[in-house]
Amino acid sequence: MKTPKIIVQKKRKIWKKWAIAIKIIPILIIVAILKYLAKKYGFEVLELNALFTSLVAGTIFLIGFLISGVLSDYKESEKIPNELAASLKTLFDDTYSVYKIKDSKAAFEFLEFQHNFLKNLMNWFFKKEKTKSILKQISAMNQFLIELDKEGIQINYIIKLRNEQANIRKIVLRIDSIRDTEFVGSAYAIVQTMGFVIIAGLILIKIEPFYASIFLTSLVTFLIWYMFILIVDLDNPFDYKTIGETGTEISLKPLNDLVIDLDEMMQEIKA
């Protein structure tokens, strides 16, 4: 018998797979109604010709150009949560080693700081925390490193901690740049314009029989707008504020697992 958790996970996978298609349904309904009205009231005043098919081909070419650009960035972005989780875990483990070996008060306080920092970082992904605040917290790690140095902790440990601090800062800035930078905004504008022109043309072009015109109009509309919405989603793979970890957003599973791991470790340390 399937557990409720497995059922929920399967529902999420199905929604993730078909989310974009579901979003387009209202557009298809509106286009089909407009096509029907154009047929009923005699607004189908255009004839299908080679110029129009060239316009469709040009739009598909631009869509291909856009998706090839955003896919390369998306594939790189898929690695980021793993890299960030690895750096945070390494930082925590090294600090934990110092704490156990030296019974360091500064190391214990640094462990607590990292535990709270991770929770703030997860809020930052959902834009509940500002980037400026996260960067300040990363810089605040310097004070703990200074205290460790004053306690006489070996310099090689402190250097390792500083390296992970620098890597975390670099990854956070990279994510922030990806979230706020749009891939060739002017290309989006021209594809949107051509999409509207093609849909308007299909509504006004006379195609017989009528059911075939409805089918072709709906199909072309679906393909163009599906790809456009997909490209926009892929362009910002860290947009969790709107619908969370669904759609095309990159999974935060490594970081979610790390939150659980650090919670358990901090409970053991404080026990």
Mean pLDDT by 10 residues, the chain (271 residues): 53 68 89 91 84 85 83 85 96 94 92 96 93 96 94 91 96 90 72 88 87 89 88 82 72 93 91 71
pTM of the model: 0.79
pLDDT for 4 equals: 56
Dihedral-angle region of residue 186 (phi above 0 means left; psi in -120 to 50 means alpha; beta otherwise): alpha
Q: Are residues 149 and 262 in the same domain?
A: yes
Total domains present in the chain? 2
> Cα(120)–Cα(168) distance, rounded to whole angstroms?
14
Please indicate, yes or no, whether residues 26 and 104 belong to a single structural domain of this protein: no
Is 5 within the bounds of a domain?
Answer: no
Cα separation, 24 vs 229, in Å, equals 9
Using the structure block, give the residue that is written with the tokens 């929770």.
119
Both 51 and 144 in one domain: the answer is no
In a domain, residue 124? The reply is: yes
Same domain? For 99 and 41 the reply is no
Domain that holds residue 230: 16-77+183-235
Residue type, 114: Q
Residues 125 and 114 reside in one and the same domain: yes
Same domain, 102 and 169: yes
Minimal CA–CA distance to 265: which of 14, 84, 138, 96? 96
Q: What is the per-residue pLDDT for 14?
A: 64
Rounded Cα distance between 112 and 110, Å, is: 5
Q: Is residue 246 part of a domain?
A: no
Whether residue 260 lies inside any domain: the answer is yes
Tell me, yes or no, whether 139 lies in a domain: yes
How high is the pLDDT of residue 1?
A: 44
Same domain, 149 and 263: yes
Q: 191 and 172, same structural domain?
A: no
User: Are 264 and 136 part of one and the same domain?
Assistant: yes
Within-domain flag for 241: no
Look at phi and psi of residue 181 and say left if phi exceeds 0, alpha if psi is from -120 to 50, else beta: beta
Is residue 89 domain-shared with residue 177, that is, in the same domain?
yes
Kindly tell me the sign of the dihedral angle through the C-alpha atoms of 198, 200, 201, 206: positive
Q: Report the pLDDT value the prediction gives residue 123, as an integer from 0 to 100.
A: 94
Is 88 in contact with 258 (CB distance < 8 Å)?
yes
Residue 3 lies in a domain: no
Domain-located, residue 7: no
Q: Are 31 and 203 in contact (CB under 8 A)?
A: yes
Residue located via tokens 């009923």 = 40
Give the pLDDT of residue 146: 94
Residues 94, 223 within the same domain: no
Do 71 and 85 lie in one domain? The reply is: no
